[in-house]
Structure 1
């Protein structure tokens, strides 16, 4: 597999992220099939970039499982939805550790901004219930940010 395959896989991942973010805004859920597709496309990406089975693929798999487990704790305490946790775990399969850390930081900042905006809107509307935050939007935007970076940023490092 070559560069074209990587671009196609990035395109599919981008479409899945956008679709999941829109779905989360509209119905506050992310379909399992979308998260499953993100996860199942990751091994094809690994093959396309020539990632070795050991330790490369093994580390990516461990990273995905670790992220899923960490955010499952947040789900347990009612801080995130199940679809968000699955989406993060699936996305982690695609990203090297340093890029994943960047995505988590950006996701946290965006998620905080979305939460703040929804809290302000709720106060202005005098809503008594706590808002249900579509955290999938923050995850999708952070993921899209790093997907576009290698395409848009052509400056040498």
Structure 2
């Protein structure tokens, strides 16, 4: 397999597939499997070997900073460890300048999820149509992966492929 073909397979095959799997498992079980985060990390490592990135050190720095900040929030019980690992891995795939947009999109999607969850819990409490038990935790990996999918087409990885 040629380097450009491998790069394209990773960019348009692996990355979106893994993020869709993350969304599915987080909705179904409120779990982000380490295997999926590892797939993102290994896929990025393969990308960096196939097509050297001029901003690799900055990507690593931003990913490390996001992960460190995330684990400080995790230590306070504010976010889950899986969400932290996912956010750090996603920062490798997105351009460092996309960090503010990533935070904005994840926040907007997370806000929509929060609103939907609040409505379901309110209906459940009122004995309305939501008869099935409702998980009270927020599947925030949906917001993180959604933001990653929204920004991916505009990253330098995709534009340079």
TM range (shorter): 0.7 to 0.9
The answer as to whether partners of 1:72 and 1:85 remain within 8 angstroms in 2 is: yes
Q: Is the 8 A contact 2:94 2:152 kept in 1?
A: no
Match of residue 28 from structure 2: 26
Q: Distance in 2 between matches of 1:97 and 1:91?
A: 11
1:4-153 superposed matches below 5 A:
4-10=5-11, 11-52=13-54, 56-126=55-125, 131-149=136-154
Distance 1:66 1:40 in 2: 19
**8 A Cα contact 2:94 2:148, kept in partner:** no
Q: Secondary structure at the match of 1:93?
A: helix
TM-score (norm 1): 0.83
- Normalization by structure 2: what TM-score? 0.81
Structure 1 pair 131–70 and aligned structure 2 pair: CA distance change class (3 A): same
Deviation at 1:63, TM superposition (A): 1.3
Change (3 A) 1:130 1:28: closer
Query: How many residue pairs get matched?
Result: 148
CA displacement 1:88-124 (0-9 Å, x = unmatched): 0111112221123212210111011101110121011
- Say if 1:68 and 1:85, in contact at 8 Å, map to a contact too: yes
Across the aligned residues of Structure 1 and Structure 2, the Cα RMSD in angstroms comes to: 2.3
5+ unaligned residues in a row in structure 2: which ranges? 127-133
Which consecutive segments of 4 or more residues in structure 1 shift more than 4 A? none
Q: Which runs of 5+ in 1 are unaligned?
A: none
Contact 2:62–2:91 (CA under 8 A) maintained in structure 1: yes
**What's the offset of the Cα at 1:3?**
3.9
Following TM superposition, by how much is the alpha carbon of 1:5 offset from its aligned partner in structure 2, in angstroms? 2.8
